[in-house]
Structure 1
């Protein structure tokens, strides 16, 4: 099985590390560790892909005898039912603290002030936060991949309640104070939730596994694995093709004025598209930003991106895409960041870690 091969390879890498630290010079050890780090990130993607695409789920064949069989044989129209049932895997992916694996990059002076800091549903464990959004009224909504639930916090950061997912959950985008759109990842469905009634009010089948999602002017933009970007017009629920590219799983997206920005975490690429889906520019700076995940933008067209492997947040101007500024790093408390959102009403940025730590900054 693929996962057994990965375990064997990882054990060999551990033996290699022992050899390097015992017999190699400091420089050789440093170079070797960096190569192992690249390998670990690659294997992490493959392992997460197995989990997200349900390849670890258990398939059971169920046999159900028709109760009429015990009465009159002549009345039997159906003897039994045989059907397949998919049991979600109980495997959960955990990450060790990466502090020793990362070298913090010196942050440029930023104009961010920490306004709030809290943990999602404080006291809970085993989180896997993939998406976050500010509601217009200031409330917070998060998607937890492990519990398959939406988690709602009040604008003061206090936990309010959870909504059990109708299926799997990945990213989330606010529509208004009542409704949010949620992607399902490998299930290839976009759900429209009423967070007040805690119900799914609309289900839209997509043309493939869907991940990052954003909302603008009555239209949902979302990333489809292997295909590109699609849109759903909420007024009539029509699906349209917007941009074609073989995107990996877990691609995030945001609107930037009238443009669209998305990230490709497998090759560390960020692209900006205009309203006609033409590529305006492509950004790639692996020494500064690796494994980009969540992405958002502010009122001035500045793009903010999560560097998951570099434990940082960087900003890129839509006018000049060459210069990129790091505004937050591990020195600011970032560890395993995955999701980010901007609140235009409060002029604030929310950064959320994989494990559920939330940092909210005022943009001065």
Structure 2
């Protein structure tokens, strides 16, 4: 048995009727409606008397059923906008007298391959940022630390403390463009106009060291005690890997080749390098071999990119005023944020894995 929760701008009776109609044509599942509320329906899915060898086999058949019920025939990508969340949870040791919490159901769902077909986002927090001198903010990138969010402005770093709802500012001489977290109080910052990467302490508000580079530095990403940075010198572009030792010293170790001379934003997560170059998103292994790439005529000017660690990428699209979820493999995607969400001209984006939080930044 498994619990199924569907939420969104839906008419619960209609969704329930669809599942019940499928019962007559399916030999495997029997659906019971547990609860119907505005924009939320809870169903109990029971397996009829058949033998399944594994949960994977069960989930594969279950996902096919969900696609059949929730995706209209004319849709070939994702459910339409009326369905924003499907949470799947196996009721291994769960009884109806002791129902699982939503957090438990989410954990179950995230173990199932294909759950992200129905991924959705909800607004967690929205806030306005102001420059130190009340001037124009030119934000281009962001990263999330433990309790702080760090943004690159053309004049320095803007730090927002989520615990006290306050901002701080670190002025910098060169125009910072890209930022990545090193630890809870340290970030690395690079600039299109500088041959160097600055390591900055948020505690002292000072540059603790500068890593000299062999070209103009673009996107940066810190992963597995290594700093990855996109460089360009003349017509040569690559991603350089800089090791950090126990004394916090940084030294270049190797180079990862890239397939475009217009690489800007990069991110590294779970052994994969993602980078954007004009209208193409690339996913590579850490030797530079392309695993897959994504492009779409409707979505040109791809900029900021981040990953959830499961091979899926979130990428901002300046021209479409949207954030895309691109599934691992690069063949399926969906807009999860756009103008209707209040998003305009998104640039940098960061995914905080520990909180399941996506942070896109947009122009004023």
Structure 2: 5+ residue runs without aligned partners?
1-79, 85-118
Assess if the C-alpha contact under 8 Å between 2:260 and 2:277 holds in 1: no
Out of 316, 325, 332, the residue aligned to residue 306 of structure 1 is 316
Cα offset, 1:244, TM superposition: 4.1
Q: Does 1:340 align with 2:333?
A: no
Q: Does 1:285 align with 2:292?
A: no
Distance 1:256 1:179 in 2: 19
| Counterpart in the other structure of 2:27 | none
Q: CA RMSD in A?
A: 1.9
Distance 1:345 1:290, change over 3 A: same
Q: Does 1:321 align with 2:330?
A: yes
| Counterpart in the other structure of 1:227 | 237
Distance 1:122 1:165 in 2: 13
Q: Does 1:184 align with 2:191?
A: yes
Residue correspondences, number:
242
Distance 2:282 2:120 in 1: 25
The equivalences for 1:41-190 within 5 A come to 109=84, 110-121=119-130, 124-135=134-145, 137-145=146-154, 148-156=155-163, 158-190=165-197
Cα offset, 1:256, TM superposition: 3.2
Q: What is the TM-score when the length of structure 1 is the normalising length?
A: 0.63
Distance 2:287 2:273 in 1: 10
Cα offset, 1:153, TM superposition: 0.5
Out of 205, 216, 220, the residue aligned to residue 198 of structure 1 is 205
Cα offset, 1:168, TM superposition: 2.6
Which structure has more RCO (C-alpha within 8 Å, separation ≥ 6)? 1
**CA displacement 1:136-193 (0-9 Å, x = unmatched):** x221000002xx2111111258233100114331110011111100002121210000
Distance 2:349 2:167 in 1: 20
Distance 2:332 2:259 in 1: 26
Cα offset, 1:348, TM superposition: 0.6
**CA displacement 1:95-138 (0-9 Å, x = unmatched):** xxxxxxxxxxx857352110100112379331110110000x22
Distance 2:344 2:207 in 1: 33
Assess if the C-alpha contact under 8 Å between 2:313 and 2:325 holds in 1: yes
Assess if the C-alpha contact under 8 Å between 1:230 and 1:242 holds in 2: yes
Q: Does 1:276 align with 2:280?
A: no
Counterpart secondary structure, 1:304: strand
**CA displacement 1:30-55 (0-9 Å, x = unmatched):** xxxxxxxxxxxxxxxxxxxxxxxxxx
Distance 1:157 1:125 in 2: 23
| Counterpart in the other structure of 1:241 | 255
Assess if the C-alpha contact under 8 Å between 1:118 and 1:157 holds in 2: no
Distance 1:125 1:336 in 2: 19
Q: What is the TM-score when the length of structure 2 is the normalising length?
A: 0.63
Q: Normalized per residue, which structure has more helix? A: 1
